[in-house]
Amino acid sequence: MATLKAVLVGCGDRACVYAEEGVHNLGLMEVVAAVDPDEVRLAYVREHFGVKKEMCFRDQRELLALGKVGDCVINGTMDKLHLETSLPFLEQGYDMLLEKPIVNNKADLMKIYETAKAHGCKLMTCHVLRYAPFYRKIKELILEGELGEIVNIRTDERVGVFHSSVSYIRGKWKSEKECGSSFLLAKCCHDIDLLCWLNAGTEPKQVFSYGGRDFIVPEKAPKGAGTRCLVDCPQEVRRECIYDVQSMYLDNCLLPWYPWQCTGKNYTDVTMEEKIESLKTYNPHGVCAYKAGGDIADHQNVLVKFKNGSTAVHSLMLGCMKAGRSIFITGTRGEIEGDVENGYFYLRKYDKKTSTYTERQFDFHDRQGETGGHFGGDRGLVLDFCEIMRGAEPSVSYTSIENSVTGHLLVYAADESMKEARPVDL
């Protein structure tokens, strides 16, 4: 069959990762048009995916005026732009792969859902963790009855120091007002989705959440700290501060495509002199982490009660020394414990011969880690999307809009609970 013709709306990191998988790794897709207000990103798309210059637009209205020019849209815009960048393309009949989170409130969520349904569009949410072989295998074992009935699911999301800084302390997701999403919605709608997907035989009934912005705040900055690391923060203070930009961004920049976007250049073209000058002047990543103006939670716990009596707990934390996600599922006939960052999990069953347990290890060490494809999930997501568009049956991981609504509603309720300090019924 012919390759699928894709339109990129928002040409940042995530959309280009999905396009890379579809075009270069799977060979199932071609990019025929692109929209982004940043000419640097459009130049990248032209060079990397061969999009014609006349099919690159700074404003989506110019592309929409041409009518339907492709089969599908990969929407990788920022969270708060999802509604206005999704509805017009769905109304033109495009199928869509939409970066998570869908939107930040129930009314807009249902508007996108109803629009996709009314126009017969296949709309998939980028809950890529469902497609990671690690989590997919856990789901298959549950469906096979290995655990019996699920009693409790416990998950943790520990955001490493660097990732915390570049995205949630100094980065684009530091403020709910600016990016449109809470910390739980922006970072952990993945994880809350997993709770609902793995426990799909029931639905969430009530949630209670607590946490807040309590530790990465101005009053807890190191004594004597300045406002910009390279300008007015004393060396003796910076030496002890884990968020010092010299070591974090200049010596060991783990995600280099993020902190230099404000320079107006592709990160590979920014010189060391330009990096230093930006951190001293206009670059938001040069501001003291404790004084960067972030208002999202820096830690949060979510406790869920499901309709069948089972429960779930999710914890998320910024500024952890070791990044990663862990999971522990207790069932009536077995349990699963694992750490996706380490690449393995254990299935344990009761052993009547010894009155202890048997244990099987499932190893996924050959899969990609946090900075390279969501543990193999990115490719699995794009493959499923392409195959479904070609008429294939959905996989067990299928992230249709219908199947993504519950997790989003649970996130909204959890944030409401944290802000109002009360349990919330769904």
The yes-or-no verdict on residue 370 having pLDDT over 70 is no
Q: Specify whether 212 is located in the same domain as 329.
A: yes
Q: Specify whether 403 is located in the same domain as 272.
A: no
- pLDDT > 70: percent of the chain: 98
The yes-or-no verdict on residue 255 having pLDDT over 80 is yes
At 397, is the pLDDT very low, low, confident or very high (cuts 50, 70, 90)? very high
Q: What is the CATH number of the domain that holds 331?
A: 3.30.360.10
Largest CA distance in the chain: 72
- Beta carbons of 341 and 370 less than 8 angstroms apart: yes
Q: Specify whether 87 is located in the same domain as 35.
A: yes
**Residues β-bridged to residue 248:** none
- Whether 268 is in a domain gets the answer yes
CB atoms within 10 A of CB 35: 27
- Whether 73 is in a domain gets the answer yes
- Average pLDDT estimate for 341-359: 95
Distance CA 342, CA 50 (A): 37
Of 101, 125, 149, the residue that ends a domain is: 125
**Residues β-bridged to residue 312:** 153, 304
At 367, is the pLDDT very low, low, confident or very high (cuts 50, 70, 90)? low
**Residues β-bridged to residue 5:** 30
Token match 């010894």: residue? 354
The yes-or-no verdict on residue 69 having pLDDT over 90 is yes
CA distances from 212 to 87, 148, 295 (A): 33, 36, 9
pLDDT at 372: 46
- Beta carbons of 168 and 374 less than 8 angstroms apart: no
- pLDDT > 90: percent of the chain: 91
What is the number of domains present in the chain? 3
Higher pLDDT, 281 or 367: 281
Tens of pLDDT, residue by residue over 139-151, are: 999 999 999 999 9
Query: Residue 358 — φ and ψ, nearest 5°?
Result: -100, 160
- Whether 388 is in a domain gets the answer no
Distance CA 117, CA 114 (A): 5
Q: Specify whether 141 is located in the same domain as 210.
A: yes
Tens of pLDDT, residue by residue over 281-312, are: 999 999 999 999 999 999 999 999 999 999 99
Which stretch of 89-98, 172-181, 402-411 has the lowest confidence by average pLDDT?
172-181
**Residues β-bridged to residue 211:** 300
* H-assigned helices in 183-327: 183-198, 229-232, 235-240, 245, 272-280
Tens of pLDDT, residue by residue over 211-235, are: 999 999 999 999 999 999 999 999 9
Decide: residue 354, CB within 10 A, 0-12 exposed, 13-18 middle, 19+ buried: exposed
Distance CA 247, CA 260 (A): 15
pLDDT at 369: 44
Query: Residue 353 — φ and ψ, nearest 5°?
Result: -70, -35
Q: Specify whether 8 is located in the same domain as 118.
A: yes
Structural domain harbouring 201? 129-216+294-377+395-425
- Whether 384 is in a domain gets the answer no
CB atoms within 10 A of CB 58: 12
At 373, is the pLDDT very low, low, confident or very high (cuts 50, 70, 90)? low
